[in-house]
Amino acid sequence: MQAAGLYYEEHGPPNAPPLILSSGLGGSAGYWAPNIPALAAHFRVIAYDHRGTGRSDRHLSEIVTVDDFADDMLALMDALNIDRAHIVGHAAGGVAGLALALKAPDRLGKLVVVNGWTKADPHFLRCFEARLNLLRHAGVEAFLRAQPIFLYPANWISAHTEELDAELPHQTTSFPGVETMEKRIAALAAFDVMGRLGGMGDGVLVLATNDDMLVPSAAAQHLADQLANARHEVMPWGGHACNVTDPERFNRIVLDFLRS
């Protein structure tokens, strides 16, 4: 289904509290497949493809910001007649949730920020510099083949190599394009809400992974420090895409928070 130029799908009871799932850099609703069944048992789950990616409108402005990501979530809520929703956002989706909370706090229920940040960490920027150089100089396939290194723990990659290789042709076909990826990465690198989150905290879970290769767990600690009364939890293992590698633990933590 489409609304406001965004592809979305719904799961769970239509009269349950609405829960929007916003993914990271890749922008795909499919990213949440390991989590949707558990979440949809309690919520009206809405997963969507970010603008510029997947099955959503591929046109982007010359300059893209995280505020644009937040505006898209608000536009989707308006199109679906949702006054207020919980949000679970991973990385890009998490910082988009923070941007939404700053501009329209009355539209937000609870917010889960997974492996997020207040300002881009130097290690995060170094990783994206390396990934952009691969994309620019070695091409899309090299970029996608390197992607698991930043998303998953090494042992998990070894155990799931055949699955990752099988996904590569689909990822290549659906790749949003170099220009779109550069714009989305630039938006994440420019995001900075240091000192602006003092009025927030109640109803926010900052969830990090201790072995995240892309966004150091210290970035989540800095975020939690900026949010008075926020709940802060660190998963011991799982890498950047912890909801994929350890969905049982992830689902349990998120549901415990959302239903508390």
Q: In which residue are the tokens 């691969």 written?
A: 134
Closest CA to 256 of 233, 237, 240, 236: 233
CA distance linking residue 88 with residue 54, whole number of Å: 19
Give the type of residue at 136.
R
Q: Are 103 and 232 in contact (CB under 8 A)?
A: no
pLDDT in the model for residue 202: 86
Give the type of residue at 199.
G
Q: Are 174 and 47 in contact (CB under 8 A)?
A: no
Which pairs count as long-range contacts for 217-224, CB under 8 Å and 24+ apart, including other chains? 218/121, 219/115, 219/116, 219/117, 219/118, 219/121, 219/124, 220/113, 220/115, 220/116, 220/117, 222/117, 222/118, 222/119, 223/113, 223/116, 223/117, 223/118, 223/197
CA distance linking residue 92 with residue 170, whole number of Å: 22
What's the whole-number average pLDDT of the chain? Answer: 97
Q: What percent of the chain has pLDDT over 70?
A: 100
Give mean pLDDT, residues 101-107.
Answer: 96
CA angle 19, 22, 26 (to 5 degrees): 155
Q: What domain count does the chain have?
A: 1
Residue 104 backbone dihedrals phi, psi, to 5 degrees:
-150, 65
Domain that holds residue 240: 2-258
Q: Kindly report the CATH number assigned to the domain that includes residue 225.
A: 3.40.50.1820
pLDDT in the model for residue 177: 96
Q: In which residue are the tokens 């939404």 written?
A: 100
DSSP, res 52: T
Three-state secondary structure call for residue 160: coil
CA distance linking residue 151 with residue 114, whole number of Å: 13
pLDDT in the model for residue 138: 98
Quickly state the pLDDT bin for 198 (edges 50, 70, 90): confident
Give mean pLDDT, residues 76-94.
Answer: 98
Report pLDDT digits (tens) over 217-244. Answer: 999 999 999 998 899 999 999 999 999 9
Strands (E), 131-197: none
Q: Are 151 and 241 in contact (CB under 8 A)?
A: yes
Asked if residue 5 has pLDDT above 90, the reply is yes
CA distance linking residue 7 with residue 19, whole number of Å: 16
pLDDT in the model for residue 163: 97
- Which tokens in the block code for residue 52? 């510029």
pLDDT in the model for residue 201: 76
* β-pair partners for 26: none
Closest CA to 87 of 98, 79, 78: 98
Q: Are 218 and 245 in contact (CB under 8 A)?
A: no
Asked if residue 100 has pLDDT above 90, the reply is yes
